[in-house]
Amino acid sequence: MSAPVTEVRPNEKLKRPRSGLLARLNMSTWIGLGILTALVLSATFAPLLATHDPLQQSLMDQLVPPGAKFLLGSDDLGRDIWSRLLYGARYSLAIGFLSIASAMAVGTPIGMVAGYLGGRTDIVCMQVMDVILAFPTLILGLALVALMGATLPNIVIAIAFGSMPSFARIARAGVIAQRDREYVKACQTMGFSGPRILFRHIMPSILPELMVISTLWMATAVRTEASLAFIGLGIAAPTPTWGGMVRDGFDNILGSFNLAIMPSLAILLLVLAFNLIGDGLRDAVDPRLKDAS
Amino acid sequence: MFSFVTKRLAFAVLTLILVLTLVFLIIRILPGDPALMILGDQASAASIAALRERLGLDLPLYVQYGQFLQGAIQGDLGNSMVTARPVAEEILAVLPYTIELTVAALTLGVVLGVPAGMLAAVHRNRLPDYLVRCVSLIGLSVPAFVAAIGLLMLFAIHWRWFPVISAGTGDTLFDRFRQMALPTLALALIMMAYITRVTRSAMLEVLSQDYVRTARAKGASQATVVWKHALGNCMIPITTVVGLYLGILIGNSVLTEIVFSRPGLGKLILSALAQRDYTLLQGMIVVYTMMVIVVNLVTDLTYGLLDPRVQYK
């Protein structure tokens, strides 16, 4: 028995077996995280990175192709596309994060309580959620924004409202899977209150799945916001939003392809990043689903 | 079977009534007076009051709700604020265009998506798999209007293979096909992405099962195993996804119709928004949602046809 089982060479000391969520992320997740980080940084440091004022018009410089003066060209009002993309990223990201955070904050407790209490509460809550699910996300968002007015908070509310049922469903299923487990029974025996059991003891076990679904929903939220802006229900002009920029580009499609392509690519990149991260997180959280992606 | 269908129908009707209630609440309860929204900030108090009366907004809420529900169930969605024509008539005039586009996109999505998903599963973790997964991920990420504009730029403006405007009318079958091609492809790409992913994952699971191994052991060819033995058992998840995403497809058709200037619900909803025709908007939301409810019902009923093991309970 002379095998040096415990022998550790100096260089190998650093190579600890990796564990935890980060270690389980695959390459495409890292690519998604990289794209997202780059976009968040661009949006944060937009004032430093922008070469022009995103709102400044110059009628002498309409539809200028990419070059030294305008990095990605200019739009039909002579505004710099690059600078507008940078500032537009702020709205896409803010609406993506805020709407899904709100949907999660409202939908999760509804689903958890419905799953925990069961009975009539469950039937009523989930029936209401199913009714909201029957609306196509874009149509519901369109109706709400059209009626409430196209402002940032209203767009956030409209998208959050449509995505809330998914969180309620996932949370409900998670709680139903947990509520008969021994640790929950133990908590109940010890006389813990319902909210305490739900939010302190059961919540951690359903959180990973909620995180996965929230990332995938952020992709949908960004797409929906861009679609609303394209229809003309985005944050009012002259504020730069990517969907609104595609609309401008589409109106001038015969004059310049560039104007529509650049913001389209930006939207695609952001949605792709969220999808890559969501897929990767799902694989990491539940390896059984690995092949499903 | 009969009781299952009845139950599902009753459930669909209940959902529809709840949907109508929600639409009513959204339109009536939201901050902002519809009469004020229609007439604008500059309107006089008298004209706002007159319009409120015309729209029935001065009646108690429960009376309005009763009238709305009664009308909607009888197929009366009110009259358009702009053209004064019945909303149901306006919608029915363009509905076939949207249904035609959606069905064509769905068919193309299935025809392309199912074989692509099977190809990826059979060649798991090899080049075809990576390619198919990449394409489907992009398909999932591209908004419908971006796909539509991309296709328009390439095939209609740059190469001029297809018309820029798909007016929805054509003298010959070939004309119709040319006008339908790009809008259909734009929507089908997105549907294909969803179908490819679910086909791949379902196929991977089925291919690892014992009966597939038995079929292979008996000497069945790869094509027989995949197409005859495995595909049948993938149909349930594929149908589920088709049903689930058909709603998204119907919603996305709005964007495609706008890009290609195609008649349909998309253009109608846009004009309803532009003209603040809120009875038309309300009616259209009801119709869109009804389409989703019908699709869900049909999906549920299809399960038993696809898989005899499914018991209607």
SS3 A190: coil
- Please indicate if any CB of chain B lies within 8 Å of the CB of A147: yes
**CB < 8 Å from B in window 126-145 of A:** 127-128, 130-132, 134-140, 142-144
Q: Give contacts of A130 with chain B, Cβ < 8 Å.
A: 15
Q: Give contacts of B195 with chain A, Cβ < 8 Å.
A: none
Measure the CA–CA gap between B196 and A4, rounded to whole angstroms. 50
CB atoms within 10 A of CB B223: 8
Write out pLDDT tens, residues A60-87.
888 788 888 888 888 888 899 999 999 9
Write out pLDDT tens, residues A122-157.
999 998 998 898 888 888 898 889 888 889 999 999
- Return the pLDDT at A2: 43
Q: Which residue of A has its CA nearest to B120?
A: A291
CA A136 vs CA A116, A160, A269, B237: distances in Å: 28, 13, 24, 21
Contact A231 B254 (CB under 8 A): yes
DSSP state of A118: -
The predicted model gives A10-39 an average pLDDT of: 76
Distance from CA of A242 to the nearest CA of B (A): 11
Contact A260 B149 (CB under 8 A): yes
CA A164 vs CA A106, A118, A131: distances in Å: 7, 19, 12
What is the ipTM score, two decimals? Answer: 0.86
- Please indicate if any CB of chain B lies within 8 Å of the CB of A226: yes
Provide the whole-model pTM: 0.87
- What would the two tokens of residue A246 be? 């595609």
Of A85-94, A128-137, A163-172, least confident by mean pLDDT is: A128-137
Q: Is the peptide bond before A238 cis (omega within 30 degrees of 0)?
A: yes
**CB < 8 Å from B in window 52-111 of A:** none
Longest CA–CA span in chain A (Å) reads 85
Contact B143 A276 (CB under 8 A): no
- What would the two tokens of residue A289 be? 């689903």
Facing residue for A223 by CB, picked from B22, B143, B288: B143
Write out pLDDT tens, residues B28-69.
776 666 677 777 777 788 888 888 887 777 888 888 888 888
* Nearest Cα residue to B256 out of B304, B178, B189, B194: B189
Of B89-98, B112-121, B266-275, least confident by mean pLDDT is: B266-275
Inform me whether the pLDDT recorded for A57 exceeds 90.
no
- Return the pLDDT at A1: 38
Measure the CA–CA gap between B157 and A257, rounded to whole angstroms. 10
Mean pLDDT of chain B: 86
DSSP state of A64: P
The b-or-e profile of A106-118 (16+ CB within 10 A means b, else e) is bbbbbbbbbbbee
| Band of pLDDT at residue A274, cut at 50, 70 and 90 | very high
- Return the pLDDT at A3: 46
DSSP state of B261: T
DSSP chain B: -HHHHHHHHHHHHHHHHHHHHHHHHHHHHSSS-HHHHHH-TT--HHHHHHHHHHHTTTS-HHHHHHHHHHHHHTT---B-TTT-SBHHHHHHHHHHHHHHHHHHHHHHHHHHHHHHHHHHHHTTTSHHHHHHHHHHHHHHHS-HHHHHHHHIIIIIIIS--S-SS--S--SSHHHHHHHHHHHHHHHHHHHHHHHHHHHHHHHHHHHTSHHHHHHHHTT--HHIIIIIIIHHHHHHHHHHHHHHHHHHHHHHHHHHHHHTT--SHHHHHHHHHHTT-HHHHHHHHHHHHHHHHHHHHHHHHHHHHH-TT----
Write out pLDDT tens, residues A228-253.
999 988 888 788 999 999 998 888 88
Is residue B175 within 8 Å of B215, Cβ to Cβ?
no
Inform me whether the pLDDT recorded for B154 exceeds 60.
yes
- Return the pLDDT at A65: 84
Write out pLDDT tens, residues B159-187.
888 887 776 566 777 888 888 899 999 99
Burial class, A85, CB count within 10 angstroms (exposed 0-12 / middle 13-18 / buried 19+):
buried
Is residue B192 within 8 Å of B245, Cβ to Cβ?
no
| Band of pLDDT at residue A293, cut at 50, 70 and 90 | very low
| Band of pLDDT at residue A11, cut at 50, 70 and 90 | low
Measure the CA–CA gap between A205 and B203, rounded to whole angstroms. 30
- Return the pLDDT at B121: 93
- Please indicate if any CB of chain B lies within 8 Å of the CB of A177: no
